[in-house]
Every structure is written in C-alpha cells, then in structure tokens.
Chain A
Amino acid sequence: MKEMSPIVKTITKISFAAIFLFGLYIILHGHLTPGGGFQGGAIIGTLMALYLVAFGAVKWRKKVLSIIESTGLLVFIGTGLLGLTTGYFFFNFIGGTDNPIFGQQLNGGELIGDVAFPSNSAPLLSSGTISIMNMAVGLEVIAALTLIIVTMGLFAFAGSEEGE
C-alpha cells in the first residue's frame, strides 16, 4: 500500500496529537460528560484509519493488537467480578479521603462511608470503578477497530493478507 503526498502526511502529523488527546478526554471524562469508552475508542480508531491511509503499510503487529484487546476485556470482567467480593462494590479507588495523592479533590463533596457523593458539580475523581471500566472498554475498542482497519487495508491493497 503506497503512502500519500507530503501535504497529507504533514497534516496527519500535525493533527495526530490533537485527535488522540480528544479521544483520551472522551474516555477519561466518560462518567461526567457525554461519551465514554466506546465513543473515545471509536475516535482513536478513526485516527488510526487516517494514519494508515496517509502513511501506507507500516509494520502493524496484529498479535500485539489482539493481546491489547483481550487485556481490555479481561480488566472489564475482573472489575465486574471484584464487586462480588466484600468491600469493593462501587468502591471509590481513586477519590477517597485517605488516598494521599487524590484525597483532596472533592470540592464540596460529601463523604458517606467510603463512597464520595458529590453535591452538585461532580469532581473528576468521583465514580469508583466506573472510570476503570470506561478505560478498559476504551482500550478494547481501540485495539479491535485498529485490527479491523489494518486487516481490511492490507487485504484491499496487497490482494492478500500480509504482515504478522
């Protein structure tokens, strides 16, 4: 698969970081604003399609993408099963008051037991395991959509399946 003109490559290089950061923002703020794991992952998957079209066939490692996809699913299932054990059902890992790093982030929030309930405007570190599950879904969707795009692109342009 041939690469495109220097104009397309330069524009892709410039806008790569901005689109990637926007996708990460959609994933990480999934519990507060519209969006979530699937939406942010689809945005980064579109970015990977743009990269593949602009730069042609670079060495894509399908094994690594497949492992990342399985890791995201396993983290999701593991976080769900963690709720069966005592004390971890909706436990706020990243926002409790005895956490030395993120402990002071609850602006106006109220602490009932171990779970932080924000008053009206939600702080970023407020939703316990939901945020971790969003990150897992985002990882899985990024890897799966990139795998689909790479497989289709290699099949269309080389006539057969190449790469690892």
Chain B
Amino acid sequence: MEFFTFLYDALHFMVLFGIVGSALLVVKFKDLVSATIALAACSLLVSLEFFILQAPDVAIAEAAVGAGLTTAILIFAIKSTRGREEY
C-alpha cells in the first residue's frame, strides 16, 4: 500500500513538472507552430491533472477544447502570418 501511494505521488509530481516545463517551452520557442504544439501538450497535461484531482467532467472539456480545437484554430491563424516571432 505504501508503494502504491508513492507511485501515485510520483505520477502526480511528474505531471506537475511536465505542465511547468511545457509552459516554459511555449515562451521559449520562436517558431510559432512549435509553440502551438507545446501549448497543446501543456493543455493535455492539465487535462491529466484534472483527472488526477478527480474532476473528470472538466478533464473531458479541457482535452477536447484545449488540445484539439484551440490548436486547430491557432494553426489556421498562423497560416496567415510569417510564422516566426520577431523582437
């Protein structure tokens, strides 16, 4: 039983560090399509975190809207731009 509690906590911390890491990657990438894919990965991990915190209703909505629709809409918008961030 101790071992399974440890495994659960380890999974939880891996998901949390994944959220922070992918969010940092969104800021770091200069290619806009790469940043969008990193945002989709971040959204998917947030959905997994909602499921771990026992809110499966919110997890379904986050997975469908955040990882699917938002990525499609952002990529459609990036098609009309130059595709790289300039500063």
Nearest Cβ in chain B — how far from A158, in angstroms? 11
Contact with B along A7-41 (1 / 0, CB 8 A): 00000000000000000001000000011101100
Interface range for B: 10 to 19
Q: Is the interface of B mostly helix, strand, loop or mixed?
A: helix
Residues of B contacting A152 in the complex (Cβ-Cβ under 8 angstroms): 72-73, 76-77
A-B contact count (CB 8 A): 53
Interface flag for B7 (CB, 8 Å): no
Q: Does A148 reach chain B (CB closer than 8 Å)?
A: yes
A49 in the interface (beta carbon within 8 A):
yes
- Contact (Cβ within 8 A) A34 B76: no
B57 to A39, Cβ gap below 8 A?
A: yes
Among A42, A155, A156, A159, the residue within 8 A (CB) of B61 is A42
A interface SS class:
helix
Total interface residues on A, CB under 8 Å, equals 21
**Stretch of B9-17, B20-28, B62-70 contacting A (4+ beta carbons < 8 Å):** B62-70
Looking at the assembled complex, report how far the CB atom of B69 sits from the nearest CB atom of chain A, in whole angstroms.
Answer: 6
CB of B56 closer than 8 Å to a CB of A: yes
Q: What is the CA–CA distance of A159 and B76 in the complex, to the nearest angstrom? A: 11
Measured between alpha carbons, how far is A152 from B60 in the docked complex, in Å? 24
7 A-B residue pairings within 8 Å (CB atoms): A35-B60, A42-B65, A46-B68, A49-B69, A49-B72, A148-B73, A156-B79
